Amino acid sequence: MEYNFREIEKKWQDDWTQKGVYHVNNNSPKPKYYVLDMFPYPSGAGLHVGHPLGYIASDIFARYKRLKGFNVLHPMGYDAFGLPAEQYAIEHGIHPAVSTDQNIKNFRAQLDKIGFCFDWGREVKTSDQKYYKWTQWIFLQLFNSFYNRLTQKAESITRLIGIFEKEGNANHPIPNSSFTVRDARFTCHDWKSFNEKTRQDILMEYRLAYCGYGEVNWCEALGTVLANDEVINGVSERGGYPVVKKKLRQWYLRITEYADRLLEGLERIEFSEAMKEMQTNWIGKSFGAEIDFEVKSQEPGVGSLRVYTTRPDTIFGVDFMVIAPEHELIQKITSTEQKKPVEDYITYVKSRSDRERQAEKKITGCFTGAYAINPFDQREIPIWISEYVLAGYGTGAIMAVPCGDERDFKFAKHFNISITNIIGKHYNDEEANPTKDAVLENSGFLNGIVMRDAMELVIGKLEELGIGKRKVNYKMRDAAFSRQRYWGEPFPIVWKDGIAYPLDEKELPLVLPEVEKYGPGPDGEGPLANLKDWANPIDLPPALAGGQRETNTMPGYAGSSWYFLRYMDPHNENEFCSRKASDYWAQVDLYIGGTEHAVGHLLYSRMWTKALYDLGFIGHDEPYKKLVNQGMITGVSEFIYRYNPSENIGTVHMANEIPYKKIDISSLLSKEKNIAAIMAQGLFPEIYFSHDAIPKGEVINFSPLHVNIKYVDANKLDVEEMALKESKFHKACFVCNDGFYLNGKWYNNELKENSKLIFTTTSAGEKMSKSKLNTQNPNELCDKYGADTFRMYEMFLGPVEQSKPWDTKGIEGVHRFLKKLWRLFFDELKGKVWNEEKANDAELKVLHKTIKKIEEDTERFSFNTGVSAFMIAVNELSDLKCHKKEVLEKLLIILTPYAPHISEELWHQLGNEGTILDAAFPKPEEKYLVESSKNYPVAINGKTRAELNIALDATQQQVEEIILANETVKKWLEGKSPKKIIYVKNKMINVVI
């Protein structure tokens, strides 16, 4: 009886499905544990070996927790709305729902092969109306809420209306993220006098999901707006198309109101430092002051210039002001003689795209002809315009302190502006010094004060004079929430007379209608705007008659911002998730996924959770307790070398562009007469060389060519297979270092069979891609070695959190281990070899040591050393010829999370009923554990072996005598006798008690 993994895995997968062993109940006396994977976007390419890495890790942990007696929720679903399906629809005319469903089927088949313990009864699909009904519902909750800064939480907008009616907005100023109104104040009387439109416009300034005009990232190629995190280096994340700034009416999420709580929450959750850092940077909180400077310009009475600075202490070092080219004050303050240069400069800036600005950081600028007055020493400070000041951050204007800021310094040097030194010897006129520890000089009333302490003083003074105030600033902007696309959730909003009216909850879901074409609608609207009947519905409630539907759709991150809640109560038709269910499952205990969502999904879902918590729908305000980022599995390309006698290629270049080898083909051909002869006959179009067959010589004519890695196994290319399957190689000749392959035969001195071409491997650590032929489909590996081998091998590759190149070379070793395990139970000839004899101490030691090790490794996510521990255990049990049920049974239980199929099979072979999934994880028995013999270091007065007169050929006994006679050792032992004495490297002596 041999290890027939195909049969076993099929059998148990069917059995588990049929018996519903992965069904999870919301009512259980057991403690709960929630293990979540980032659900995949079902792309057409299917899964590759990188995907399952995280899934396997989470699956192992989920199964482990189950053995440990937890009620484990481990669901899976699909992030099904998104751009690629729509692009595919545009190109091929296939409805995104159709292609998405096909892809999901494909994903599901692949996932099932690997044997995950997902409760598929809880599957969610964000494009399903039963799901997005609740995405729309949550949107309405956000729309109907505002952030109360006094209570620091989201509250109902009706409450805000009540406040306005009573006291106006004195205590609730308009959030500064507003795009249309700034600092507008009104009283309760004003409010009462406002008409409906005005009131709604004002409320829109407060809503957590709101619509406003603003500069957005417009991607022409994709025909839509993108969120900041979807734009990378001025091009779109998806597709790499150019992105420009455009003013458009857009929906936003007022995530900026949550900035502080998003920061504070990071302290309570287990994310990696890198991840926390990324989110912290993205939020970009800084403390400083806003200062108003009186402006002195040709035209008097233009008011003041407001700047934001984190260094108010440097106010006496201000040598010039810089305002953004978009700053509204420019028109007013520019002097007549500077008008032309300023206009020219602004034209120049407009001609530069964001990309250009970021790529080449030139020092550019233009003087306005106006001056600002330093409030403390009345100095006149020239006001400049420069593109290095961003309109969108702070007030779009800065006070430049060249002695303390590098950019200001370079600007001053470039334009020859004289620099005031306020930090004495800390400044050397060669570069700026941003220190906070200098004692201030040339600083009026601040002279002699350390900068760090001066900050408070200045802010106090500014506030006292009424020309400035303390100010906290954030880099984070509100998140753009609408897309001019088809394949997303429609907004449950109807516009009438310029007012956005939410649909009644009873009308949800607002179903995504069918469209004929997926192309953009008129005026930057989405495809839905082409549907006149849908966009101008006739069946609206009387009050909204004549209204139009919002034709934008929600972005991809809408559905993924709350899916972890839906898994808890996936079939609830009355609520997005019952409070009972969310209270039971609460936070995700373990969330596994890639780092690519650091500032997107992970931030948005945290915000949604906080809003839902504030509004009382759930009882926790951080969605994830612990996040583990799995590393990327990168590809490894394999090459052969094409000989191009007709083209003079020059030096052979490897993918990394380093000249690799120079070869003289002619010398080779004169030597290998057969090849030359065959070449001369022109029987084949091309010759390919293995790496080591390329002769070392002078010249050229070889170019590296990617070969599909599926033909490569353990560094060897299966040439025959490849020549058979790939039509372009049908007539090719493959030259190997000891012969060549042509037309189905090997030629050499003798006919060789099963010969393999030896290969070189290069370019590890690159992204997997179709063009490099380096993608690996997990299905093929599962077919070849079985799911258990595949699972264990992926874990064995290295730490889960580390990126690593994919390489199948080692998979044989893991497969061997499983076969060896099998042989502890069954012998090929003798059949059953396991027995019910009593285990001896040596065997129990192996068992309990392994239990302890697996427990520790699994708990700390060290699955690679866990797999090693199993290998060691099986090796040792084989050596001990231990086939005892007493030992093997427990070994199977702890192996279950790693290799569930073989464990289940053997467990049944041992005569057990039910499923091993519900077995209890055994406790390691202390008495069998190798006593944790602590090595106590004894430095014998720092003396080495030689100094203690221990001869090199001294026997163990002689050594011990000498050591035990030593005063230091005697003292330390306190009369006890040591277990063991160990030398280390002649120098140190360990005494073990």
Partner RNA sequence: GCGGGUGUGGCGAAAUUGGCAGACGCAUCAGACUUAGGAUCUGACGCCGCAAGGUAUGUAGGUUCGACUCCUAUCACCCGCACCA
Site for RNA in 217-246 (CB under 7 A): 232
Kindly state the tokens that stand for 929.
């554990």
**CB of 511 or CB of 984, closer to RNA:** 984
Binding RNA (rule: CB under 7 A), the pick from 50, 369, 394, 978 is: 394
Which token pair is 694? 């390329």
Stretch 822-851 residues interacting with RNA (CB under 7 A): none
Contact flag: residue 390 with RNA (CB under 7 A): yes
Contact segment (CB under 7 A) with RNA among 217-225, 659-667, 726-734, 805-813 equals 805-813
Report the nearest approach of RNA to the CB of residue 358 (Å): 5
Minimum CB–partner distance for residue 713 and RNA (Å): 9
Residue range at the interface with RNA (CB under 7 A); choices 207-215, 252-260, 518-526, 867-875:
867-875
DSSP for 766-786 reads EPP-GGGT----HHHHHHHH-
Judged by beta carbon, residue 505 or residue 926, the one nearer RNA is: 926
Q: Which is nearer to RNA, 358 or 840 (CB)?
A: 358
Residue 697 DSSP one-character state: S
CA distance 993 to 990: 10
Q: How far is the CB of 499 from RNA (least distance, A)?
A: 33
Binding range to RNA, per CB under 7 A, among 575-583, 662-670, 852-860, 920-928:
852-860
Residue window 871-910: x/- pattern of binding to RNA, with contact defined by CB under 7 A? xx--x--xx-------------------------------
CB nearer to RNA: give 170 or 232.
232
Q: How far is the CB of 51 from RNA (least distance, A)?
A: 18
What tokens does 21 get? Answer: 């062993």
Please tell me what DSSP assigns to residue 462. Answer: H
CB of 890 to RNA, least distance (A): 19
396 is an interface residue for RNA by CB under 7 A: yes
- By the rule CB under 7 A, 751 interacts with RNA: no
Q: H-type helices in 591-697, by residue range?
A: 601-614, 665-671, 673-681
CB of 7: closest distance to RNA in angstroms?
18
Residue 943 C-beta: closest distance to RNA, Å: 8
Segment near RNA (CB under 7 A); pick from 175-183, 200-208, 521-529, 864-872: 864-872
Task: List the one residue out of 443, 461, 465, 515 whose CA is nearest residue 486.
Answer: 515
Phi, psi of 633 (to 5 degrees): -95, 120
Name the nearest CA neighbour of 534 among 554, 515, 553, 520. 515
CA 873 to chain centroid, in Å, comes to: 36
Task: Single out the residue of 491, 493, 469, 474 nearest to residue 482, CA to CA.
Answer: 491
820 binds RNA (CB under 7 A): yes
For 69, residues 6+ apart whose C-beta sits below 8 A from its C-beta are 30, 31, 920, 921
Total chain residues near RNA (CB under 7 A): 83
Report the site for RNA in 252-311 (rule: CB under 7 A).
272-274, 277-278, 281-282, 284, 286, 288, 308-311
Stretch that binds RNA, among 99-107, 383-391, 451-459, 955-963 (CB under 7 A): 383-391
Considering only residues 714, 751, 951, 965, which one is a binding residue for RNA as defined by CB under 7 A?
714
Name the minimum Å distance from CB 53 to RNA: 12
Instruction: Select from 125-133, 246-254, 496-504, 811-819 the region that touches RNA (CB under 7 A).
Output: 811-819
Q: Check residue 819 for interaction with RNA (CB under 7 A).
A: yes
To the nearest whole angstrom, how small is the minimum distance from the Cβ of residue 37 to RNA? 20
599 binds RNA (CB under 7 A): yes
Beta carbon nearer to RNA, 32 or 823: 823
Q: What does the DSSP assignment read for 346-379?
A: HHHHHHS-HHHHHHS-----EEEEEEEE-TTT--
Give the helix ranges, DSSP H, for 427-551.
Answer: 451-465, 532-535
Give the interface segment with RNA, choosing from 31-39, 205-213, 740-748, 853-861 (CB under 7 A).
853-861
The distance of closest approach from Cβ of residue 936 to RNA in the complex, given in angstroms and rounded to an integer, is 7
* Residues 196 and 204 sit within 8 Å (Cβ to Cβ): no
Contact partners, residue 978, CB within 8 Å, separation at least 6 = 964, 991, 992, 993
Q: Looking up tokens 């609408």, which residue turns up?
A: 482
Distance of closest approach, residue 2 Cβ to RNA, in angstroms: 8
Task: Provide the minimum distance between the beta carbon of 290 and RNA in the complex, in angstroms, as a whole number.
Answer: 10
988 binds RNA (CB under 7 A): yes
Residue 654, interface with RNA (CB under 7 A)?
no
DSSP annotation of 528: G
| Nearer residue to RNA within complex by CB, 89 or 349 | 349
For residue 877, CA distances in Å to 39, 812, 821, 828, 843 come to 40, 20, 9, 18, 7
> Residues in the chain, how many?
993
Report d(CA 478, CA 476) in Å as an integer.
7
Token pair of 753 as six digits: 């069979």
Does residue 393 touch RNA according to CB under 7 A? yes
Q: Please, which of residues 943-972 interact with RNA by CB under 7 A?
A: 952
From the list 39, 16, 1, the residue with the least C-alpha distance to 567 is: 39
Residues 343-372 that bind RNA (CB under 7 A): 357-358, 361-362
The identity of residue 338, as a single letter, is: Q
Nearer to RNA, 118 or 759 (CB): 759
User: Nearest distance from residue 978's CB to RNA, in Å?
Assistant: 14
User: Is the Cβ–Cβ distance between 326 and 391 less than 8 Å?
Assistant: yes
Where in 928-947 is the site for RNA (CB under 7 A)?
Answer: 932, 935, 937, 939, 942
- For 235, the 3-state DSSP assignment is strand
Three state DSSP letters for 513-527: CCCCCCCCCHHHCCH
Verify binding: residue 18, RNA, rule CB under 7 A: no
Give 196: exposed, middle or buried? Use CB within 10 Å, 0-12, 13-18, 19+: exposed
CB 19, CB 915: distance < 8 Å: yes
CB of 329 to RNA, least distance (A): 14
Copy the structure tokens of residue 183. Answer: 């600092």
Interface positions, 459-488, toward RNA (CB under 7 A): 473, 475
Query: CA-CA distances (angstroms) from residue 536 to 155, 188, 489, 912, 990?
Result: 32, 36, 18, 66, 86
Candidate segments 153-161, 461-469, 488-496, 803-811, binder of RNA by CB under 7 A: 803-811
Q: Kindly write out the interface string for residues 781-800 of this chain, putting x where it contacts RNA by CB under 7 A and - elsewhere.
A: ---------------xxxx-
Residue 622 interacting with RNA (CB under 7 A): no
- Pairing, β 71-73 against β 32-37: parallel
Instruction: Give the shortest CB-704-to-RNA separation in angstroms.
Output: 20
